[in-house]
Amino acid sequence: MKILVTGGLGFIGSNFILHALRNPKLRITNIDAGLPGSNVQNLKQVKNNARYRYIKGNITNKKLVDKLASDIDAIVNFAAESHVDRSISDPQPFIDSNIYGTYTLLEAVRRHRKKLIQISTDEVFGSLKSANATERYPYNPSSPYAASKAAAENLVNSYFITYDSDVITTRCTNNYGPRQSPEKLIPKTILLAEQNKKIPIYGTGKNIRDWIFVQDHCDAIFRVLFEGKRGESYNISANNEADNLKIVKKILKIMEKSENLIEFTSDRPGHDFRYSLNSNKIRRKLSWRPIHKFEDGLEQTIEWYQQNKEWRRHIKNEAFTIPWKTR
């Protein structure tokens, strides 16, 4: 099977490709534009693998996407502008990559009759006070990032209804693990703590996210790719809710660092209080379940960032700033 992975130099896409290449029946083409979130080191180890090919390119390039789609069986679309803070300071790239980019892929799968797995997020449902969102929960995105992902989901759904395209959407909660840019909470905390630098936490740190180890997410995507039902969507979660302060304190404890490093900062505008997904459907219909315990996954993650010094040299500098201050 030939798979076109988009955004494969980023966090989840690179973990997915490394996982995929363990299966000798899979060939991977990775199209990535090298935008924020990407790191060339993420896939250095498979650079010379005969079943892997990297194309530096943008998914908004219709001609290129059309050409690539003609020679594959399925597309898994990870490519996206992914950081809420950056979407607050400048929404434009989020509209381009997340909405127009998805449209370009949809046109290619429509023309060539290929399969598309659209990777989406729990953020499309907005902030939940209690309970959790099933696949039928109404969209209520708060940030330009979440709104762009909800728009993309709607487009994907429309191609199923209108053109009977072979499309499926997956929605996942917050991922953690190796190869994530330190613009995000967990790697940022690890790398700042290691240098005994202050760790910024928004507001009171009480905002809740549901955390899943990236490999469990990738396993779920494979299940959906091979066994998922056309036109459907699947929520993916590990039922592991924790507030940001608790996460940072856990990391500091494992790293034997002082909690005095924590520094509360002014809150992100429109900061959602809590996301939570109900993943009963994928567990019941596709027999998927997460296998990593949070404590084990977190220790493994910390160790990975501590050991991969060469990867760290390729981090983009702006990853450590708090960029939502509007222009």
Ligand X SMILES: NC(=O)c1ccc[n+]([C@@H]2O[C@H](COP(=O)([O-])OP(=O)(O)OC[C@H]3O[C@@H](n4cnc5c(N)ncnc54)[C@H](O)[C@@H]3O)[C@@H](O)[C@H]2O)c1
Q: Which is nearer to ligand X, 232 or 261 (CB)?
A: 232
Q: For residue 172, state whether it binds ligand X (rule: CB under 6 A).
A: yes
Q: For residue 79, state whether it binds ligand X (rule: CB under 6 A).
A: yes
Task: Please spell the DSSP secondary structure of 58-89, one letter per residue.
Answer: -TT-HHHHHHHHTT-SEEEE--S---HHHHHH
Q: For residue 34, state whether it binds ligand X (rule: CB under 6 A).
A: yes
DSSP one-letter code for 95: I
Q: Which position among 3, 4, 9, 106 is part of the footprint of ligand X (CB under 6 A)?
A: 9
Are 124 and 146 in contact, with CB atoms under 8 Å apart?
yes
Q: For residue 81, state whether it binds ligand X (rule: CB under 6 A).
A: yes
Minimal distance in Å, beta carbon 247 to ligand X?
13
Task: Please spell the DSSP secondary structure of 236-272, one letter per residue.
Answer: E----EEEHHHHHHHHHHHTT--GGGEEEEPPPTT--
**What is the Cα–Cα distance from 266 to 70, expressed in whole angstroms?**
49
Q: For residue 182, state whether it binds ligand X (rule: CB under 6 A).
A: no
Stretch that binds ligand X, among 9-17, 194-202, 243-251, 271-279 (CB under 6 A): 9-17
Minimal distance in Å, beta carbon 122 to ligand X?
7
The beta-carbon contacts of 248-253 under 8 Å, at least 24 apart in sequence, are 248/185, 248/189, 248/199, 248/201, 248/205, 250/295, 250/298, 251/186, 251/189, 251/190, 251/193, 251/298, 251/302, 252/189, 252/193, 252/199
Site string for ligand X, 99-118 (x = CB under 6 A): --x-----------------
Q: For residue 38, state whether it binds ligand X (rule: CB under 6 A).
A: yes
Active site amino acids = 122-123, 145
Minimal distance in Å, beta carbon 56 to ligand X?
9
Q: Which is nearer to ligand X, 4 or 257 (CB)?
A: 4
Stretch that binds ligand X, among 27-35, 218-226, 244-252, 258-266 (CB under 6 A): 27-35
Q: Which position among 52, 78, 159, 288 is part of the footprint of ligand X (CB under 6 A)?
A: 78
Q: Which position among 29, 30, 87, 97 is part of the footprint of ligand X (CB under 6 A)?
A: 97
12 closest CA partner among 40, 41, 34, 42: 42
CA 111 remoteness from chain centre: 27
Minimal distance in Å, beta carbon 114 to ligand X?
18
Are 180 and 42 in contact, with CB atoms under 8 Å apart?
no
Are 301 and 176 in contact, with CB atoms under 8 Å apart?
yes
Q: For residue 13, state whether it binds ligand X (rule: CB under 6 A).
A: yes
Q: Which position among 1, 2, 21, 35 is part of the footprint of ligand X (CB under 6 A)?
A: 35
Q: Which position among 37, 141, 177, 290 is part of the footprint of ligand X (CB under 6 A)?
A: 37
Task: Please spell the DSSP secondary structure of 117-144, one letter per residue.
Answer: EEEEEGGGG---SSS-B-TTPPP---SH
Q: For residue 216, state whether it binds ligand X (rule: CB under 6 A).
A: no
Q: Which position among 4, 26, 68, 80 is part of the footprint of ligand X (CB under 6 A)?
A: 80
**What is the Cα–Cα distance from 87 to 95, expressed in whole angstroms?**
9
Write out the residues near ligand X by the rule CB under 6 A: 6-7, 9-13, 31-35, 37-38, 58-60, 78-82, 97, 101, 119, 121, 149, 172, 174-175, 181
